[in-house]
Structure 1
Amino acid sequence: MNYEIIPPPTRLSPFIRFYWILESNEPYLHRGLADGCAEMIFHYDGIFDELGDNNLREKSFSSGLHGPTRKVRRFIIDRGFGIFGVYIYPFAIQRLFSLPTIAVSNEMPDLKTLLGTTGDRLEEQIMMASNNYERANILSTFFEHQLTKTRQVPANISVAVHQMLNSKGIVDIPALAEYCCLSLRQFERKFKEYSGFSPKLYSRIIRFQTAAAQYGNYGKSLTEIAYQCGYYDQSHFINDFKEFSGFNPSTYFSGEAEGTAWRDSEMS
């Protein structure tokens, strides 16, 4: 399995965290965990099925958007595959697709639903591209055009989301509201509109992501990981981890958990 990252152009870095590629010659079962950012996905070689209740398979989209999510989702493919993805700051959904982030939180609209005929054309360009750097250039051109058509996101809210991410979810929410010159109620409403979740839930998701990113760090115990990620007792850590990944932390960090092959590839 091969996992790569391509940085976006400087002009797009306030909105796009990075482009990524995941490719394999083997079948794969992937588990999508809770995530505070969104991902635009293009399956340019093979299409996954989503596994629902009782492992029933339902065809997923060939291209579309994974909104910020608190849900665990499972996907499977019985052959080799290639995926090109864009990891997007949640508040950028408004700028890039002209809709509030809350409209796509926990959702997976396909590209045509999201962009109409423009989505069809963009998908065709991505599928026909000769390599992943060409795909990154196509998408950068598309995003730069989108930014010329849409209104600005309130600067204080984008700052608040960045602060939440940079602090790894360990923030004083009333203090952050005051820093943004908003009442707590105003801040909670605006933050949810542009991040997809309330500040409290978003901070929990980001703390979980920070903990999950310690996968492969065998020099730290689970207690150390929990404490460094702002969990002050093991039960809180275990409960959040189960809710946002479907795994007990000990299972996830064992290296034997379902859908972690991409992380193994990231470390190699």
Structure 2
Amino acid sequence: MRIYQPREELRPYVRYYWVLKGDEPFGILTFPIGCPQIIFHKKTPLYIPELDKSQSQFTISGQVNFPAHIQSDGSLEMIVAVFYPHTIGMFIDTLPSAFYNLEISGYDIENRQVNDVVQKIFDCENNKDCIDILEGFLLSKIRPSLNINRIGMSVNRLLRVPSTSINALADKACLSKRQYERVFRETVGMNPKEYARVVQFQKALWMMQRGESNYAGIAAECGYSDQSHFIRNFKELSGYTPEALIKHCAPYSDLFTNPA
């Protein structure tokens, strides 16, 4: 896998890009990462058993609340743009809530400008040049709004303190709780309480990734009410208890790790 950092103007909106090529079949367990992605498959798309479908050549991957065992048949070349939790809607003119718990074909949003860019990417042989084409499009779509800024501040608050209450987040955003929940869901793609669960889970993964094994300490640091709450939530989002996951694979937090 190769990681590419976005140009400076896009860094408030795009976390990073990654490119992966492979010629051996594989299967891998993935978790809710809290960040939507746009995926370009130049060869065979990945298969997702939990959804009983393969990704499209051009896929928009939304916020999810379940683990998935993705599979490759060994003919793989993919380019992925990973966005911040609250920014993808600005670039595709579609509310992220429309693809909650889904892997949708980007062609289904019927955006001619997007489709033209996608075709240029598939016609381009050099993957770094493909990313440059994508970035040219993304730069043309930057339109910060009050709601994007509000929700961005909320997401950052949750990353720092996952136990922050919805009422406190709504007050900080100068919105009623009902307004805040609607704006958050439309901007991020899931409701704030559910997204906070993903953040707690990802922070727990990050602590385990760094070698922490005191589950009571992890529960307290991540804002769980107790150790049992932590283990129950962890299993719902990963399919494993923390102890069982460590035996299955090395814990890794996509949300709290910034690949260089």
Q: Distance in 1 between matches of 2:32 and 2:212?
A: 25
Match of 1:233 in 2: 226
Match of 1:176 in 2: 169
Within the alignment, does 1:163 sit opposite 2:157 as a pair? yes
Residue 157 of structure 1 deviates from its aligned partner by 2.3
Within the alignment, does 1:33 sit opposite 2:31 as a pair? yes
Summarize deviations over 1:32-63 as a string: whole Å, max 9, x none. Answer: 3223210111122332222148xxx5332112
Is contact 1:125–1:138 with CA below 8 Å preserved after alignment? Answer: yes
Residue 8 of structure 1 deviates from its aligned partner by 0.9
Residue 225 of structure 1 deviates from its aligned partner by 3.3
Aligned partner of 2:184: which letter?
A: F
Identity of aligned residues (%): 27
* Distance change in 2, residues 1:152/1:172 (3 Å): same
Within the alignment, does 1:130 sit opposite 2:128 as a pair? no
Range 122-131 or range 89-98, more displaced: 122-131
Aligned residue runs from structure 1 range 62-81, under 5 A = 62-81=57-76
Summarize deviations over 1:190-244 as a string: whole Å, max 9, x none. Answer: 2122112222111111111122234543453444433332234221111111111
Match of 1:83 in 2: 78
Match of 1:114 in 2: 109
Unpaired runs of 5+ in structure 1? Answer: none
Is contact 2:212–2:218 with CA below 8 Å preserved after alignment? Answer: no
Summarize deviations over 1:57-98 as a string: whole Å, max 9, x none. Answer: 533211210011113233212214222111112322331111
**Please, what TM-score do these two structures have when normalized by structure 2?**
0.85
* Distance change in 2, residues 1:5/1:223 (3 Å): farther
Within the alignment, does 1:200 sit opposite 2:193 as a pair? yes
Within the alignment, does 1:11 sit opposite 2:9 as a pair? yes
SS of 1:142's partner is: helix
Unpaired runs of 5+ in structure 2? Answer: none
Q: How many residues align?
A: 254
Is contact 1:41–1:84 with CA below 8 Å preserved after alignment? Answer: yes
1:211 corresponds, among 196, 204, 207, to 204
**Please, what TM-score do these two structures have when normalized by structure 1?**
0.82
Q: Distance in 2 between matches of 1:28 and 1:164?
A: 34
2:136 corresponds, among 141, 155, 179, to 141
